[in-house]
Copies of this chain bind each other. A is one copy, B any other.
Amino acid sequence: MNEQLLFNLVDLAGTFAFAISGATAARRCNLDLFGILAIAFITACGGGIARDLCIGAIPPAGLSDWRYLFTSVIAALLTIVAYPWVERLTYPVRLFDAMGLGLFAVYGAHKTLLFGHNAEMAILLGIITAIGGGMARDVLLARVSIVLQQEIYASAAFVGAALSVLGEYLSWPAVWATWLPMLACFVLRFLSLRLHWNLPRFGRDASS
């Protein structure tokens, strides 16, 4: 299978999964049709748009490439017309979401380096690409971001982005530098879901 094609497929599958998670959350908050479409799109593309603004990639791909908008709209409409079916899809959606997380983190870091920025920015913007959309979703729904509260999510994105930058600095072969970090992020995220891993917390209710 052509590698670029595989990359694009995973990219759109990730976008789809992110949009489903956005549309589901928006539907639960009783938003109207437009609200669901908007939250789905922002969840899927918000992180990438923030990254592109920070690295000077104007126009941001999330706004100018129709495939992202199209995928988000399809995901949102599916969530509306086939909600019981989408709810039964929880498992594959989580799988796609974990894949999307890995791909977005690695692609975000890669694109940042491509635009000539340093390793720190690549790692930070890899994380922002992966979790920015989810944070925007939660901000718009007026709740503390789940991303910042529970489970290995942002940390998996960090591992993916950091490994990707390491790979580029050590000149790993392109295939390794792309797929190994994605796989590491995906496996970490997936295991944390299955085994209910969490990062430590330190607040007042931490013991409960």
For residue A5, give the distance in angstroms from its CB to the closest CB of chain B. Answer: 23
Q: Which residues of chain B are near A55, meaning CB under 8 Å?
A: 58-59
Complex Cα spacing A69 to B32, Å: 32
- Which A47-105 residues have a C-beta within 8 angstroms of B? 49, 53-56, 58-60, 63-64, 66, 69, 80, 83
Known contacts: A117-B64, A145-B140. The answer to whether A34 contacts B203 by CB under 8 A is no
Least CB separation from A125: chain B residue? B63
Which residues of chain A (102-119) have a CB below 8 Å from chain B? Answer: 117-118
Report the minimum CB–CB distance from A40 to chain B (whole Å): 11
| B-contacting residues, A9-42, CB 8 Å | 26-36, 38-39
Choose among B31, B58, B198, B199 the residue that contacts A149 (Cβ–Cβ < 8 A).
B31
Can you name the residue of chain B whose Cβ is closest to the Cβ of A116? B59
Give me the interface of A with B, judged by CB distance under 8 Å: 26-36, 38-39, 49, 53-56, 58-60, 63-64, 66, 69, 80, 83, 117-118, 120-121, 124-125, 135, 138-145, 147-150, 154-155, 158, 198-206
Apart from A33-B155, A63-B120, list 11 A-B contacts with CB within 8 A: A27-B202, A30-B206, A32-B148, A32-B200, A33-B201, A54-B59, A55-B58, A63-B125, A80-B202, A135-B140, A142-B144
